[in-house]
Structure 1
Amino acid sequence: MEVRRMTAQSLVNRLRSVSEDTQKQAARELRLLARRDDENRGCIAGAGAVPSLIELLYSTDTELQVNCITALLNLSIYGPNKEAIMSTRGALDAIVHVLKLGQSMEAKQNSAAVIFSLNTVENYRAIFGDRPAVVRGLLDLIRMGNPKCTKDALKALFHLALHPLNRSKMVSAGVVAVLFSLVMNSSMGLVEDATAVLAQIAACSESAQGFQKVFGVQVLLDLLDTGSPRAQENVASALLNLVQCGGECVVADILDTETAVTLLSDLLDTGTPRCKSKVSSLLKLLGARERRPMSAAF
């Protein structure tokens, strides 16, 4: 253990060098060392690596920047290091800087992965959600069309959406249209990931209008027929959340689709247990809404 501490401290000291070549070599070695195990991750953070790595994220050297953000990603795997990163002054600004203006796609992808990793801690989701640049940066990354980057961005968005107060902010940022573009582009193979995020986003009152703008209910209903079992689960959850939060306009969109009730009823027999549970609750809500007398118009 002592050897590990000494090695980590030596590398962190070199990371603070005025020589960029020395910094690059140290960052590369820290990145590799942090991949191995939690003991190394703890030693590296304990040696004070995090503030130096954060500072170097603003480097215009592609190799140095990508090794620093990847080292942070590897460090964040170890639970206690998440707090070390979050408590470092300027950490979020630097991570978002790489997400939006990184020197390479690898750097941007790994910044999204860092955001995902940190947001596995529930208490951090509100902090990230309060920064509009985070969601905008993740959506810009998705728009670039790189499947690997998009997958990491979706993971980050999913965990952000687990915090209820973030959902309306994400809708305002344009997340619904971007997610449906992924659903429609099945060639990327990310329909399940995109619908998982949509299911969370749907659980806010602001989502109904966003879904209507892109004919989202109809697209989701089509997936009930053609999607994978996991996609069907996500769609059923999204529709249930929409009806619970979106009111009569969503109910009308579903009931106006001739095959909707038939598709939902079929899933009570063919769906996964989770899908059956969501569909059953949805059909009960739809039945109750359909039987509700219309208010008189004046």
Structure 2
Amino acid sequence: MGRSDCDGGDTSSAFSDCNSDRSGEFPSSGSPTTSSSSFGGGSGGGGDGGLHRLLVSGAVDYSHEVVRRLISDLESPSATVECQRRAAMELRLLAKHNPENRLRIAAAGAVVPLVALLSHPDPQLQEHGVTAVLNLSLCDENKTLIAAAGAIRPLVRALSTGTPVARENAACALLRLAQLDDLRTAIGRSGAIPPLVALLESGGPRAKKDAATALFCLLASRENKARAVEAGIVRPLLDLMADPDSGMVDKAAYVLNAVVEVAEGRAAAVEENGIPVLVEMVEEGTPQQKEIAVRSLLQICKESPIYRKMVAHEGAVPSLVALSQSATKKSKEKAEALIELLRQPKRTAGDSRR
């Protein structure tokens, strides 16, 4: 399977990969309050808490037998939910920071039983399973194993039904899998786009960022762009772009730029009053925001004289002229191309809106 960085240009400052296990519910390794009860049970005293502090730091050295025991606890039909929680949590933590651990855990056969937890009715156990799968997916070598174990559909379900942490980490795990070209379309066809759009619209700050990053990667597939438009992605993107306090302006602008590469996306952006938002970004945004806004306006205007008229009527030309005289070479070229489009003679008959 080919790997893609899901990059449509210089987006490194707008998007970054999901880190492992960012839920924050685990105390730090130096916390004096860390104990076995903080980690889902266990009968040990201070020594057991010390083990878990090592697990959190990723510094513990463990044997193949330890991992096999944890996997056996997950697979045993007689294991209690509490026992399974503890086993899943320990595998989750062992995979948290250490790339070698991720490879060793996957090689020991943990992927299939962890994927089975993604559909478990116990919310905490499902959350541990989702996050363990995310942590394992941070190694490219594990992604094919995870997909082959059938993780995509239950991860999509976790986006809608899981705890807030499970939903966020499911978005991150799907992002990691979507970095494989062959899986991107499969994830879209499994129904991931609508719950990611819902997370983008109504999730917390971290959930919105994770959803935007996952969507940006998935939208490298053309058919996923149409799915995103159908799921109503344009309105929340424009709302985020218009809200500097969201911390999401750049991310939302890049995702919108991917959406308007298809006719449905261009039509939706215009219908949702996206042109004023983009023109304002050209006028008042950062240099990076100005560039991506011009790129989106170019996409919108290329094949539609009607849309060009709307952009010109919004007062875009003075800001574009200023940008063409003072910006980077790439921004100048885009601004000049858009100015030329806007100055083309307007047709009065047979105009195509797309």
The answer to whether the superposition gives a TM-score over 0.5 is yes
More helix by share: 1
Q: Deviations over 1:207-263 (max 9, x none)?
A: 22211221101111011112222222221121122223x522321211222x21111
Deviation at 1:36, TM superposition (A): 2.6
Q: Name the aligned partner's letter for residue 114 of structure 1.
A: A
Aligned to 1:251: 308
Indicate whether 1:170 and 2:228 are aligned: yes
Q: What is the CA–CA distance in structure 2 between the aligned matches of 1:196 and 1:278, rounded to whole Å? A: 15
Which of 169-178 and 75-84 deviates more? 169-178
Which of 189-198 and 60-69 deviates more? 60-69
Q: Deviations over 1:72-119 (max 9, x none)?
A: 111111011111111113x212101110010x2111111111111111
Asked whether the 8 Å contact 1:139–1:175 carries over to 2, the reply is yes
Aligned to 2:299: 241
Aligned to 1:269: 325
Equivalenced residue count is 289
Indicate whether 1:117 and 2:176 are aligned: yes
Aligned to 2:91: 30
Asked whether the 8 Å contact 1:171–1:206 carries over to 2, the reply is yes
Deviation at 1:296, TM superposition (A): 7.9
Aligned to 1:150: 208
User: For 2:154, which of 75, 94, 97 is the aligned residue?
Assistant: 94
Q: What is the CA–CA distance in structure 1 between the aligned matches of 2:333 and 2:181, rounded to whole Å? A: 26
Residue ranges of structure 1 left out of the alignment (5+ in a row): none
Deviation at 1:57, TM superposition (A): 1.5
Asked whether the 8 Å contact 1:208–1:250 carries over to 2, the reply is no
Aligned pair in 2 of structure 1 residues 159, 296: CA closer, same or farther (>3 Å)? closer
Indicate whether 1:189 and 2:233 are aligned: no
Structure scoring higher RCO (CA < 8 A, sep ≥ 6) equals: 2
Aligned pair in 2 of structure 1 residues 197, 8: CA closer, same or farther (>3 Å)? same
Q: What is the CA–CA distance in structure 2 between the aligned matches of 1:76 and 1:112, rounded to whole Å? A: 12
Indicate whether 1:129 and 2:188 are aligned: yes
Structure 1 vs Structure 2: percent identity of aligned residues? Answer: 30
Deviation at 1:63, TM superposition (A): 2.3
Q: Deviations over 1:191-221 (max 9, x none)?
A: 1110010011110111222112211011110
Aligned to 2:25: none
Residue ranges of structure 2 left out of the alignment (5+ in a row): 1-60
Aligned pair in 2 of structure 1 residues 64, 248: CA closer, same or farther (>3 Å)? same
Asked whether the 8 Å contact 1:100–1:108 carries over to 2, the reply is yes
Deviation at 1:4, TM superposition (A): 4.7
Equivalent position SS for 1:206: helix
- RMSD value over aligned CA atoms? 2.0
User: For 1:161, which of 190, 214, 219 is the aligned residue?
Assistant: 219
User: For 1:44, which of 80, 105, 108 is the aligned residue?
Assistant: 105
Equivalent position SS for 1:291: coil
Asked whether the 8 Å contact 1:4–1:40 carries over to 2, the reply is no
Asked whether the 8 Å contact 2:134–2:172 carries over to 1, the reply is yes
Deviation at 1:292, TM superposition (A): 5.7
